[in-house]
Chains A and B, each alone.
Chain A
Amino acid sequence: MSLLTVIGQLMSGMGMTCAIFFLTLLFSLPLGLVVALLRMHRNKVISVITRVYISIMRGTPLMLQVIVVYFAPYYVFRVQISQSYRFAAVIIAFVLNYAAYFAEIYRSGIQSVPQGQYEAAQVLGYSHSQTFLRIIVPQVWKRVLPAVTNEVVTLVKDTSLSFAIAEAEMFTIAKQISSKVASIWPLLAAGLFYYIFNLLVVLVCSRVEKHYSYYKI
C-alpha cells in the first residue's frame, strides 16, 4: 500500500473525526450551561439529580459510555440496532459526557462573578434573565475560556475512543491499516494529524482569548 493511499484513507477518517469533534462542541457547549444551571438550582431534587449525572459522567470511562449508549437499545429494550445509529451513539455519548465537564467549568465561572455584579444589576432594574444573559454570561465566558480550551484539546484526542464501537474515524482506520500492512507508520501518521489538529485548536482558542482581552475583570 503506497503512502498516498494510506494518507488518503486516513483523511477520509479525518472527516469523521472532525464531524464528531464539531457536533460534540455544538451541542455540549450550550447543554453544559443548562446542566450548570440545573446543578445550581434552588430545588434540591433537581440539583442532586444533576450532581449524580455529572458524577457518573466524570467518574466512568468515556469509552464505556460510548459502548453503553450504543448497545443499550438492544440489551435494554430489545430494539434492533441499525447501522446509522452507530454515529448517533457516538455523538450522544460524547455530548452527554462533555456537557458534564463544561457544566462544572461554567459553574465555577458563574460562582466567581462577584455578588456585587448581581446587586448592581438588580438596583439598576435588570430582570433576572437580563442580568444573567447580559451581565453574567459574558464575564463567565471570558473567565472559563482557558479551562474550556483544555477540554477542547482533550476532545480532539477523545474522538479516537469511538473506535470502541468501530466508528470509522481516523484512529479506527489507522489501526486497521496498521495491522493490514504490519507497520507502525499509519499510527504515527494518525498521531501527527491529531497533533496538528490540536495546534490549530490552541491557535484558535488563543485568538478568541485575545479578542476578549479588551477588558479586565
Chain B
Amino acid sequence: MNTYLQMNHIRKSFDGNEVLRDISLTVAEGQVVSIIGPSGSGKSTLLRCATMLETMDAGDLIYLGQYAARDEGGRSVYAPPAELRRIRKDFGLVFQNFNLFPHYSVRKNITEPQMLAGRSREEAEAKAEELLRKLGLSDKADQYPCQLSGGQQQRVSIARALALEPKILFFDEPTSALDPELTAEVLRVIRELAKQHMTMIIVTHEMQFARELSDYIIFMEHGLIQAEGTPAELFATDNQRVRDFIGRFQA
C-alpha cells in the first residue's frame, strides 16, 4: 500500500514553549488514523503542521513521496510556494468551527473552490449536487450557513472538502462544537467515508468512535506520542496513563 503521509521527527515551539517534541507518524492509503489525548497535548498543532497552517521548526513533511518540507540540519526547509500549492491539493481539512464562508450560499461554498481549481461551472455544480445528495442536504443548496444547524454546517464543510477530491482528509475535532444528536449525524458521515476507504486523520475526543473506526490510534500528551497502536492494542494497554484517559472518557 502506498504511503500517503509521512511526518518525521516534527518539532514545534511557540515562544520557547515546546508543543511538539519529535513526533513521527506514517499514514498509508485507505487508513483511518485517530489522534487522541488531553487538551494542550499538541494534537491540534500536529494537525495544523500537517496541513501547513503552521510551519514546523524541524522535521520532514512528505505527501505521496513529495517533500513539502525537508529537515536540513535540524530545521524544516519548505518547498517553493508553487510546489506547496500543488501539494495542498492532496489533502482537505474539516475544521472544528466549520469555517464556512458566511456570505456564500451552501452551493457556492462548494462550487467556488472547484472552479478556482479549474473546473467548469457545470462540473462544479454537478459535483456539489451529488455530494449534497449523498450527505442528505439537497434541499439546503440555496440556503446560507447561518440558516443551518451546526451538524448541517459541518456536513456542508465536509462536502466542500470532498468536492476537491483530496487523497487525505483531516478532521480537527469535527464534533466538538456540536451537541450529541448533531455529533451523531456528523459521525455517520465520517463512518460512511471510512467504508469507502477514504484516507483520514481525525483528531477527536470521541473514544468509542475512534475505537470503532480507526485502523490506528495515536495517544499524545505533553507534545509526545505516549502510546500508539491498533484500537485493540491501545484499549488493552497496560500504560496506566492511557488507561486512565480512555477510561474517563468511556465512563
Seen from chain A, the residues whose Cβ lies within 8 Å of a Cβ on chain B are 114, 116-117, 119-126, 130, 134-135, 138-139, 142, 214-217
Cross-chain contact A125 with B117 (CB below 8 angstroms): yes
> How long is the Cα–Cα vector from A60 to B53 in the complex, in angstroms?
42
Give every chain A residue within 8 A of B160 (Cβ-Cβ).
124
Given contacts A125-B88, A125-B89, whether A135 and B116 have CB atoms under 8 Å apart is: no
Option from A116, A125, A139 in Cβ contact (under 8 Å) with B99: A116
**B101 and A116 form a contact (CB under 8 A):** no
Residues of A contacting B103 in the complex (Cβ-Cβ under 8 angstroms):
138-139, 142, 215
> Pick the contact of A134 from B91, B99, B112, B144 — CB < 8 Å?
B112
Given A119-B53, A214-B144, A215-B145, CB of A139 within 8 Å of CB of B116? no
A and B contact pairs by CB, cutoff 8 A, 8 listed: A116-B99, A119-B99, A120-B101, A123-B88, A123-B91, A125-B88, A126-B116, A130-B116
**B-to-A contact residues, CB < 8 Å:** 51-53, 85, 88-89, 91-93, 95, 97, 99-103, 112-113, 116-117, 144-146, 160-161, 164
A141 to B91, CA, bound (A): 31
Bound state CA distance, A119 and B113, in angstroms? 13
Please, which residue of chain B has its CB at the minimum distance from the CB of A113?
B102
Contacts of A130 in B (CB 8 A): 116
Which of these, A116, A126, A139, A217, contacts B97 with CB under 8 Å?
A116
Contact B101 A135 (CB under 8 A): yes
Q: A124-B113, A130-B116, A139-B102 are in contact. List 11 more A-B contacts (CB 8 A).
A: A114-B99, A120-B95, A120-B100, A122-B53, A123-B51, A123-B53, A124-B160, A125-B85, A126-B116, A135-B101, A215-B145
Contact (Cβ within 8 A) A215 B85: no
A187 shortest CB reach to chain B, Å: 45
> For the complex, what is the distance from the CA of A139 to the CA of B100, rounded to whole Å?
12
Closest A residue, CB atoms, query B112: A134
Q: How far is the CA of A72 from the CA of B249 in the complex (A)?
A: 73
Chain B positions within 8 Å of A135 at CB level: 101
Instruction: Determine the chain B residues whose CB is within 8 A of the CB of A139 once the complex forms.
Output: 102-103
Complex Cα gap A138–B144 (Å): 15
A78 nearest CB across to chain B (Å): 51
Q: Is the CB of A126 within 8 A of B146?
A: no
Among B51, B89, B100, B103, the most chain A Cβ lie within 10 Å of the Cβ of B103
CB-CB nearest in chain A for B118: A125
The reply to whether B93 and A215 contact each other, CB–CB distance below 8 Å, is: no
| Residues of chain A with a CB closer than 8 A to B51's CB | 123
Considering only CB atoms, which chain A residue lies closest to B163 in the complex?
Answer: A124
| Complex contacts, A125 vs chain B, CB 8 Å | 85, 88-89, 113, 116-117, 164
Q: Which are the 5 A-B pairs with shortest beta-carbon distances?
A: A120-B99, A216-B146, A116-B99, A124-B113, A215-B144
CA distance A152 to B109 in the complex (A): 33
Which B residues are in CB contact (< 8 Å) with A122?
52-53, 88
Q: Is the CB of A124 within 8 A of B164?
A: yes
CB of B89 within 8 A of CB of A215, answer no
